[in-house]
């Protein structure tokens, strides 16, 4: 067996988007591979035949990652394949080309060409198509223009690429670029993709469309705003002709679906107890009576999976209704489980195994899910009689070829009886009695968790001879609202938990070299890395990634800053300014002695480049050895879904930075 290489992820297979065909006999999912030389990801659809228990490749164009079942045997997906479509796309002409493929063979054929840029669409019972359409209030409606006018407008749009005019906040979004006055607008099309009419205003942004079981009507989540996007959104019903608003009494809704033709189930929070990170609850909306009812008053759990890993690509369904019950993923402790809730608010555990449920599908009693377990990469599983059965074997080779370090649990109790749970990876070639360096890894969020699932970066550093330690300090997910609430306490109790966990690891594992400690983390983990180096000199070197250094600048420059920064620090630049500054690592930069590498992406609008630049400048000003590596064309997701060569360079930077400060062997 061999050690994991820095670029080993090029050999992994990533799965996403499992979804059943009507009837449940077939299911499709996307399979993603890394093309390191081409610096891209190759995505194709695969088919699972339940009767034959067989998986086969369905597409081979390397661009198919999202899809929709048209019927029991046909799949549709949007893509650009021919030269004419590519030319139209490059000219900024609005269109979306949908292809259709039969699961029993044959090439994909052009099916529908929308004459608008469509982001999502649903086929209605009457043959019409309900869709979310890209709409730019800064541009002219291309369908209203004649050939000459369209040519002039396309020319103008190309020229406008050199300018951005901002008129609202947020004015950009991570991974989405500049968004000022741009929306996803609800629209109706005929069966051939011809635009019929808009169903929402020009300043309404559609977040979710879910059809009723008979596909005659839909529930819509959206936000309507100018100047500043609100934190509370809107619920409405499309009745087949019009969109009718529903009263939700000041809730922030994250999901809506039909339990029946006359009953909706919602996940929502009023944010009054814990602000933006408050765990949601389930509500029922009776469409006939117009009544909203809270189903789970005492519920206090995460309603999504937040188990982190850098060995995923693509997404998939984490909530869905089947037989009048809503199935959903939840984070419990260090794992994500699958549960269901009925119309009375009764909760039932469906799947509670170690690891993560990344996405799932259920049809005709058949439940499939994509997950990670037993320190393995993703696989497709079937849940049968309460037991998981693995279907795909794309990644089984890692246990046959690679030296993996199995996570060992390590926890310590808090005074209130709760625990800080974490893990330790021993060096891959561990020899008892030999001293090894220690790397503390800190997750993002902060409301996420580390689990025992496969994590490429952590496994790589274990293969390079580090003890890798990682935990879930207060602020993390999986243990209810109170545990995740660190508003106004950033750098206080979470810092205490991380340092106590480090001390416990050093006491527990005598072969850890306490004089040879390193630290890294991204996003919130980058914030904590910046904070740590300003409050202790115990680490020989640090790598701060996509970090926050100054809450005041973060508030005023990032896509979530104006509502995240004030909520999390319990202050603002104008109210209790000093409290916000007190929680900013930049304030303590003059105390730093630790050599620090900064990793940042030019298009990271979640934790903008200025955060890394400020901290880097401060360290250089005070004579601390430091380095900043900026990645063009990347955003906040660099470590998880960035271009393959960029992911290699990122990990190379961290690896070489730490090695630079390792003791020289005599």
Question: For residue 401, what are its two tokens?
Answer: 């070829």
Neighbours of 659 (CB within 10 A): 11
Strands across the sheet containing 281-286: 252-260, 263-269, 281-286, 291-294
Question: Whose structure tokens read 């998939």?
Answer: 316
Interacting residues of 256 by C-beta distance below 8 A, sequence separation 6+: 208, 210, 219, 220, 221, 235, 264, 265, 266, 267
Domain ranges (residues) in the chain: 404-660
Q: Model confidence over 431-486: pLDDT tens digits?
A: 999 999 999 999 999 999 999 999 999 999 999 999 999 999 999 999 999 999 99
Model pLDDT, residue 666: 46
Exposure pattern of 578-609 as b/e (b: 16+ CB <10 Å)?
eebbbbbbbbbbeebebbbbbbbbebbbbbbb
Whether the full predicted model's pTM is greater than 0.85, yes or no, is: yes
At 136 the pLDDT is: 96
d(C-alpha 114, C-alpha 191), whole Å: 10
User: What is the pLDDT, as a whole number, of residue 249?
Assistant: 85
Q: Which residues of the chain have pLDDT under 70?
A: 665-666
Strand (E) or helix (H) holding 499: helix 493-508
Please compute, for residue 48, the number of CA atoms within 13 A of its CA located in the half-sphere on the CB side: 28
Pairing of strands 356-363, 347-351: unpaired
**Cis peptide preceding 170, ω within 30 of 0:** yes
CATH class of the domain at 404-660: alpha beta
pLDDT digits (tens, 9 = 90+) for 480-504: 999 999 999 999 999 999 999 999 9
Is residue 650 within 8 Å of 631, Cβ to Cβ? yes
Residues comprising the chain, all counted: 666
Task: State residue 242's pLDDT score.
Answer: 94
């Amino acid at each position: 067996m061999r050690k994991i290489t820095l670029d080993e992820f090029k050999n992994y297979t990533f799965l996403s988007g499992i979804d059943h065909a009507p009837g449940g006999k077939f299911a499709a999912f996307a399979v993603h591979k890394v093309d390191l030389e081409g610096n891209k990801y190759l995505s194709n659809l695969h088919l699972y035949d339940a009767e034959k228990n067989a998986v086969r490749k369905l597409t081979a164009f390397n661009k198919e990652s999202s899809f929709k079942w048209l019927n029991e045997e046909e799949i549709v997906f949007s893509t650009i394949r021919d030269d004419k479509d590519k030319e139209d796309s490059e000219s900024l002409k609005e269109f979306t080309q949908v292809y259709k493929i039969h699961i029993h063979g044959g090439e994909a054929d052009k099916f529908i060409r929308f004459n608008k840029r469509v982001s999502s669409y649903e086929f209605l019972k009457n043959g019409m198509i309900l869709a979310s359409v890209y709409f730019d209030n800064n541009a002219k409606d291309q369908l209203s223009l004649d050939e000459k006018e369209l040519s002039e407008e396309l020319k103008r749009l190309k020229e406008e690429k050199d300018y951005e005019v901002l008129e609202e906040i947020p004015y950009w979004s991570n991974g989405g670029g500049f968004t000022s006055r741009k929306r996803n607008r609800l629209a109706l099309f005929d069966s051939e993709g011809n635009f019929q009419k808009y169903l929402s205003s020009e300043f309404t942004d559609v977040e979710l469309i879910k059809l009723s079981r008979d596909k005659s009507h839909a529930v819509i989540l959206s936000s309507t705003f100018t100047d500043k996007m609100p934190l509370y959104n809107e619920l409405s019903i499309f009745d087949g002709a019009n969109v009718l608003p529903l009263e939700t009494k000041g809730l922030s809704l994250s999901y809506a679906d039909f339990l029946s033709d006359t009953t909706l189930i919602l996940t929502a929070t009023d944010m009054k107890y814990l602000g933006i990170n408050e765990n949601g609850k389930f509500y029922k909306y009776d469409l006939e009576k117009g009544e909203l009812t809270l189903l789970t008053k005492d519920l206090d759990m995460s309603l999504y999976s937040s188990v982190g890993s850098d060995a995923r690509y693509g997404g998939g369904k984490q909530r869905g209704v089947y037989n009048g019950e809503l199935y959903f993923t939840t984070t419990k402790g260090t794992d994500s489980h699958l549960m269901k809730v009925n119309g009375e608010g009764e909760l039932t555990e469906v799947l509670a195994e170690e690891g993560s449920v990344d996405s799932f599908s259920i049809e005709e009693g058949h439940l499939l899910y994509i997950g990670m377990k037993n320190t393995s990469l993703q696989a497709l599983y079937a849940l049968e009689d309460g037991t998981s059965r693995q279907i795909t074997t794309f990644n089984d080779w890692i246990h046959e070829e690679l030296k993996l370090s199995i996570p060992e649990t390590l926890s310590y109790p808090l005074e209130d009886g709760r625990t800080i749970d974490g893990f330790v990876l021993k060096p891959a070639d561990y020899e008892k009695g030999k001293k090894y360096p220690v790397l503390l890894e800190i997750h993002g969020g902060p409301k996420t968790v580390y689990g025992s699932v496969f994590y490429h970066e952590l496994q790589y550093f274990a293969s390079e001879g580090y003890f890798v330690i990682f935990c879930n300090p207060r602020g993390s997910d999986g243990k209810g609202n109170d545990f995740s609430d660190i508003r106004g306490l950033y750098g206080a109790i979470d810092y205490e938990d991380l340092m106590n966990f480090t001390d416990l690891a050093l006491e527990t594992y005598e072969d850890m070299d306490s004089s040879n400690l390193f630290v890294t983390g991204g996003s919130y983990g980058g914030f904590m890395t910046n904070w740590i180096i300003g409050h202790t000199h115990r680490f020989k070197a640090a790598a701060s990634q996509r970090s926050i250094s100054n809450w005041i600048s973060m508030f005023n420059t990032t896509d979530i800053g104006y509502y995240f920064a004030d909520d999390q620090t319990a202050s603002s630049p104008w109210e209790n300014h000093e409290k916000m500054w007190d929680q900013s690592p930049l304030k303590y930069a003059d105390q730093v002695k630790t050599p620090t590498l900064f990793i940042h992406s030019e298009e990271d609008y979640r934790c903008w480049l200025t955060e890394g630049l400020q901290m880097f400048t401060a360290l250089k000003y005070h004579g601390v050895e430091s380095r900043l590596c900026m990645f063009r064309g990347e955003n906040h997701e660099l470590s998880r879904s960035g271009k393959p060569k960029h992911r290699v360079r990122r990990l190379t930077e961290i690896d070489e930075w730490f090695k630079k400060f390792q003791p020289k062997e005599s």
